Amino acid sequence: MRLLIVKDENDLRNIVKKVLSRNITVQMSREWSRSAGLHQYDFLRCFRLLHSEIGNDHLRYIHVLHVGFDNQVHEGELVVNKDIADDVLEIFKELYESEYQIEKVRFIDEYDADDEASMSDNNSSAFNFRFISHTTKISKHGMGMAVDINTLYNPYVKTVDGELSIEPANAADYVDRSRDFSHKIDHDDLCYKLFTEHGFEWGGDWTHSKDYQHFEK
């Protein structure tokens, strides 16, 4: 379990306020956490607090239909920021009507808010309070402003200290994007077209890392 170290409830509320005002570069410095007299709040507790506070005004629950890898119709649940709720509904409607296959769309809570567990299970999701991998910055997912699709087949790849980091860890087969395989998001993919038409940025277009599953606004 990851720990978010704060001094007291007020600190936590200030963090929430910064998140709400979209100052998403909130820093959790090691020096701060090492300072004397700090109380520790575990990650899930912060997650729940943020979830309830942001949820009141800024998050929307979305219920979608999607076509699974079994070609059957499935129900999915997403939590997104209200600013992208209409976009995401329209995109999922078009994906469904085009019979675009998305395996699972489940609450991250079903994976105890563990992104690696969700990704390795190929779950598609949106809101989750978390930091950008290898940084102390709050992810766009922490704002509900990003959506990840078919995560196992579209991993997040970055070189860290000279070594290739792959998330989820079981996605090594899908790192080489020149290979042909099902559920691969690329520039010809319908997901890419719909999200970018709605003004989203695709993580596969980033240069410092590649996040093929990721669309954010």
**Footprint of Zn ion (CB under 5 A):** 146, 148, 214
Select 12 or 113, whichever has its Cβ closest to Zn ion.
113
Q: How far is the CB of 38 from Zn ion (least distance, A)?
A: 30
Select 146 or 171, whichever has its Cβ closest to Zn ion.
146
Residue with the shortest CB distance to Zn ion: 214
Q: At residue 87, what are phi and psi to the nearest 5 degrees? A: -55, -50
Select 58 or 214, whichever has its Cβ closest to Zn ion.
214
Q: How far is the CB of 141 from Zn ion (least distance, A)?
A: 6
Q: Cα separation of 153 and 165, whole Å?
A: 15
Select 11 or 43, whichever has its Cβ closest to Zn ion.
43
Give the Cα-Cα-Cα angle 88, 89, 93 (nearest 5 degrees). 115
To which residue do tokens 């991993």 refer? Answer: 155
Amino acid of residue 118: S
Q: How far is the CB of 36 from Zn ion (least distance, A)?
A: 36
Exposure string of 40-53, with b = 16+ CB inside 10 Å and e = fewer, is: ebebbebbebbbeb
Q: Cα separation of 194 and 208, whole Å?
A: 24
Q: How far is the CB of 148 from Zn ion (least distance, A)?
A: 4
Q: What's the alpha-carbon Rg for the chain, to the nearest Å?
A: 17
Select 6 or 185, whichever has its Cβ closest to Zn ion.
185
Q: How far is the CB of 208 from Zn ion (least distance, A)?
A: 15
**N-to-C CA span, the chain:** 28
Q: How far is the CB of 29 from Zn ion (least distance, A)?
A: 24
Select 6 or 113, whichever has its Cβ closest to Zn ion.
113
Q: Cα separation of 15 and 150, whole Å?
A: 30
